[in-house]
Amino acid sequence: MIRAAMDAIAAYERTLSAALLDAVSSIDGASVHGVTDRDRLDDRVPTVSFSVHGMSASAIATRTWRSTVVWRAQRSHVRTRLILRLNVVPGGVVRVSLVHYNTVGEVARFRETLARIVAALAAEPA
């Protein structure tokens, strides 16, 4: 019974991963760092690191404090070697993590929030 429950959680988290990948990929200029192949969702968890061309991760993440969706910028965490290898420094990456109690509706709300933030940042003078 425990195995069946864990399998059900894993299947649901694959659904969340696909929804999150679709959400980020729908944003102009956004790049997902990591596995994006929908046939390989077993190789990932519902955590996505991404960057948006021309925008710093901290600028994006800071704007979430004004919304009901919160995620964080990642520049100097444990994964610094990965960030350097991906060559996304100095802008860093934004990381969004979901778990089995999140919903696809929350992913949709995240996407709407991200789209608003990216549009606002793009409209700011350089």
State the pLDDT at residue 124. Answer: 85
Domain boundaries, the chain: 2-123
* CB 31, CB 87: distance < 8 Å: no
Query: How do the pLDDT tens digits run along the chain, 126 residues long?
Result: 999 999 999 999 999 999 999 999 999 999 998 899 999 999 988 988 899 998 988 888 888 766 665 555 554 444 566 666 666 656 778 888 888 889 999 999 999 999 999 999 999 886
**β-strand 30-33 against 72-74: which pairing, if any?**
unpaired
Q: Helix (H, G, I), strand (E, B), or coil: what is residue 30?
A: strand
CB-based contacts of 118, cutoff 8 Å, min separation 6? 27, 28, 29, 30, 52, 55, 60
State the pLDDT at residue 84. Answer: 65
The top-level CATH class assigned to 2-123 is alpha beta
